[in-house]
Amino acid sequence: MKEKQNLLKDRRAAAKALSEIIPMQKLKSQDWKLVAVSKGGLVLASFLRGRLDNDVEFLFNEAIMAPNNDECEVARVTEGEEIVINENLVSAFEIQYDYIYGEAHRKHEEKILSYIYQYRKGMAFPSVKDQVVLLIDEGSESGLKFMTALKAILAQKPKAVYIGVPVIPNDVLELLEPFCDDIFFIHDIEDYVETALYYEELPKVDEETIEKILGEKR
């Protein structure tokens, strides 16, 4: 386990490493839309874009936890109320689907809508129809963030959808591959623990940083 720790220095270093495997010239010439699925992913996307003119967006989403375990994520909902459920966990814990849908609606109304008004001034997520999208996160424990994002983005009929993620579990990589055009990653890890373990520095992202990145115009 020890040799797998601290594979990357920080988000800036992770973005630099990703830029060496992502076709950056295509990203620029085809005007790829960079869509973060987490706060850390948003910072990573900003570093990846650098001085380019590509749009950076945040597709807001919230976790739905098991009723008796607030550390066990069983589903996730996006700002368009797309829901992806971990069927194995829901079945194992005998969780009612009414609970999942009720929690999804509550999280959407109480949290996601507030994010949209705070960070996007109430504006809806922009259309990506016929465009190339790169979904970005700093890591992925379960793949649920990417799966919900893929469900939301693919419904808009984009030209292509890619994923950029510095560290990813082997099984999540296999899970996501059929749903996107390609996945750009630095390390695929067999016994994935948690994303923070693979970075030397992974500071919490504050509200000011989110507002600054999303407020940057072309």
Dump pLDDT digits (tens) for 178-191.
999 999 999 999 99
Do residues 216 and 26 make contact, with C-beta atoms less than 8 angstroms apart? no
Say yes or no: 189 and 91 in one domain: no
The answer to whether residues 59 and 160 touch, using CB atoms and an 8 Å cutoff, is: no
> How far is C-alpha 10 from the geometric centre of its chain's CA atoms?
17
Q: What percent of the chain has pLDDT over 90?
A: 94
pLDDT at 3: 52
CB 165 within 8 A of CB 183: yes
Tell me what pLDDT residue 163 has. 98
Rounded to an integer, the average pLDDT of 92-99 is 95
Q: Are residues 159 and 206 in the same domain?
A: yes
Indicate whether 53 and 157 sit together in one domain.
yes
Whether the pLDDT of residue 2 is over 50: the answer is: no
Residue 215: predicted pLDDT: 87
> How much is the pTM?
0.95
Question: Which pLDDT band, with edges at 50, 70 and 90, does 6 fall under?
Answer: confident
Average pLDDT over residues 61-74: 94
- Domain with residue 110: its CATH number is 3.30.1310
Residue pair 216/56 in contact (Cβ under 8 Å)? The answer is yes
For residues 112 and 197, membership in a common domain is answered with: no
Asked if residue 77 lies in contact with residue 169, where contact means CB atoms within 8 angstroms, the answer is no
Same domain? For 103 and 49 the reply is: no
Domain count, the chain: 2
H/E stretch holding 182 reads strand 182-189
- Token pair recorded at residue 150: 């893929």
Tell whether 140 and 112 lie within a shared domain: no
CATH number, domain with residue 38: 3.40.50.2020
Residue 218 has pLDDT above 70, yes or no: no
Which domain does 94 fall in, by range? 62-120
pLDDT at site 4 = 72
116 and 79 inside one domain = yes
Q: Are residues 136 and 190 in the same domain?
A: yes
